Amino acid sequence: MEMTVRNAADGGVLLYERERPDVYVLLADADPVSRHVLASALDSADGIEVLGTADSGEPLHRWPLSGVDVVVLADASRAQPDPVAAELVHKGLRVLLLGTGWTGRTLAAALAAGCVGALVKDPEIGRLAAAVRAAAAGYVVVSPELVGLWTPQAHAAAPRRERGDRSVGVLLRSLTEREREVLTLLAEGLSTNETARRLKVTSATVKSHVSHALTKLSVRNRLEAVLLMRQALDGDRPPWS
């Protein structure tokens, strides 16, 4: 952790003030070697401090969760949704799930449980550190490799407000032309600011269109809306044409 030096008013005494890092992290992994490697690498990343580690097979009450912002929950296989993740979310923690063996069902279950990230277990620590920072800032993070798993079945599996039997096409046709334009640009990978510049509107206007679209699509967050749009754009023709 970095230190800030200040000159005190009384006789030039130097005061050292510890700066709080951007994110406090707990790394949980059943594999002790992986746990050590990931924790050490994350702890060396700028703006991140690993407060502790935990064996993910241990009862949750033994985990050192005090002061933690983000829990990185690593597992060798994501073949089954992890009930521990839901407990952590219930405690008000941001949870990133890290592993292999992802399916559309487990991706949908992770997001439905309130996890803020679903990541493949990647040796590139820079990607994990970036995901941790994004999660702490309030974003939902999904590895690019997992976007293709977001199928209509996976989308339907995620609990959300009642949307009846309406198809994806019907849902997207309920949007205004500008709302579809915004989601299309976001689905192409543009940021909010880039979308605003492309459409010659303010970022606040883009966010407003996204907010209205979330309500009409009965989805929980921007990620789900963008994935729905990407799914539609992958078809032979947009369902609203």
pLDDT digits (tens, 9 = 90+) for 31-43: 999 999 999 989 9
Longest dimension (CA), the chain: 75
Give the pLDDT confidence of 168-222 residue by residue, as tens digits: 677 788 889 999 999 988 888 788 888 999 999 999 999 999 988 888 887 767 7
| 87 occurs within a structural domain | yes
> Which is it for strands 141-142 and 117-120: parallel, antiparallel or unpaired?
parallel
Rounded Cα–Cα distance for residues 238 and 165 (Å): 19
* pLDDT score of 67: 93
Q: Number of folded domains in the chain?
A: 2
Residues 104 and 43 in one domain: yes
Residues 68 and 174 in one domain: no
Question: Phi and psi dihedrals of 202, rounded to 5?
Answer: -85, 160
Percent helix, strand and coil across the chain, each rounded to 5?
45, 15, 40
* Interacting residues of 8 by C-beta distance below 8 A, sequence separation 6+: 14, 15
Residue 125, pLDDT > 70, answer yes
Out of 112, 128, 153, a domain closes at 153
Which percentage of the chain shows pLDDT scores above 90?
26
* Cβ count within 10 A of residue 200: 7
| 16 occurs within a structural domain | no
Nearest to 206 by CA among 215, 193, 222: 193
Residues 228 and 187 in one domain: yes
- We report the CATH number of the domain holding residue 126 as 3.40.50.2300
Query: Burial level of 218, CB count in 10 A (0-12/13-18/19+)?
Result: middle
The whole model's pTM is what?
0.60
* pLDDT score of 205: 93
Least confident of 51-60, 105-114, 192-201, 206-215: 105-114
What's the domain range around 220?
165-233
pLDDT bracket for residue 234 (50, 70, 90): low
pLDDT bracket for residue 139 (50, 70, 90): confident
Residues 33 and 144 in one domain: yes
Which percentage of the chain shows pLDDT scores above 70?
76
* pLDDT score of 147: 72
Q: What is the mean pLDDT of residues 68-73?
A: 94
Residues 123 and 50 in one domain: yes
The tokens for 73 are 């929950």
Question: Phi and psi dihedrals of 4, rounded to 5?
Answer: -105, 130
Residues 29 and 134 in one domain: yes
The tokens for 26 are 């707990």
